[in-house]
Copies of this chain bind each other. A is one copy, B any other.
Amino acid sequence: MARIVQCVPNFSEGRDKEVIEKIVDEVRKVEGTKLLDYAPDKDHNRCVVTFIGTPEAVKEAAFNACKKASELIDMSKHTGEHPRMGATDVIPLIPISEVTVDECVEMSKAIGKRIGEELNISVFLYEKSASSAHRQNLAKVRKGQYEGMNEKMKEELWIPDFGPNELNVKSGVTAVGARMPLVAFNVNLATNNLEIANKIARAVRHISGGLRYCKAIGIEMKERDIVQVSMNMVDYTKTPLFRVFDMIEREANRYGVNVIGSEIIGLVPTAALVDCADYYLKIENFSHDQLLEKRIYE
């Protein structure tokens, strides 16, 4: 399979179609990328663009789109409900195929450096790319938003990784970082008792003592009269789906409740599911190179 990185930049323009098209065109123009989706949101006045490509093409397209946004968006006039700090608010880089997360970290640094040097925009590296622990969480980096950034960057703790430590008034501040693909994975329980779903969510999720790369809450599925453990699996290579599934089944059993089924919402990396087959079939010495499709695009 080819080397593929996914990039999901968020731009602070969700209303002016012409501006959005011009930014998205910068992605379309770069050979070796493929635009998957872009979703302008009027209330948030924000547009999330999803594209994939080879590492080199993604680096080029991400920078070009950010440059175009810096030309066309004026943050000093921006309003919208979603927290934001820059014309290009955030550039996440996600390893999809034959690329490691470390390579995406390197990419984020290269992109951030260019944005800082060539566009004179302050850049914070976040998530796996963060230069220190307090910068990992995007919400913390963005806290204070556009309006508070000039003050924030004067603090020792918040000197940008690239670019000036003074606000670029027109373009604001951009976060760039590598993260693992997120899998939205829900497990349905044969009960309508929300308390049970919440107890199980607390058992499996990282924040309350559970699995490191699992976020979970209990929710009601009113139409079906059942409850669900709703999860974001934020690194399936380290906290695999089968482990959390088996744990939920066991916890549910403790309350005399069966697991009805599970759901995967949206896209999932093939490897996240192949790893489950590997586990349940107890395959010895399985290599992902044995997947026939890998041979096609190598």
Contact = CB atoms under 8 A, between A and B. Distances in A.
Contacts of A280: 242, 245, 276-277, 280
Contacts of A263: 283-285
Interface string A222-260: 000000000000000000011001000000000000011
A207 interface: no
A295 B52 contact: yes
B293 A293 contact: yes
B274 A290 contact: no
B270 A281 contact: no
Q: Which of A270, A276, A284 has the most CB of B within 10 A?
A: A270
A291 B261 CA distance: 19
A163 B296 CA distance: 34
A264 interface: yes
Given A274-B273, A296-B2, A297-B297, A267 B284 contact: no
Interface residues of A, number: 45
B269 A284 contact: no
A293 B281 contact: no
Contacts of A273: 273-274, 277-278, 291
Nearest to A53: B296
Given A4-B296, A241-B277, 18 more contacts: A2-B296, A6-B292, A52-B296, A96-B296, A97-B293, A181-B292, A245-B281, A261-B284, A262-B283, A262-B284, A264-B283, A267-B295, A269-B291, A269-B293, A270-B291, A273-B274, A274-B274, A275-B277
6 contacts: A1-B293, A97-B296, A242-B281, A263-B284, A264-B286, A270-B274
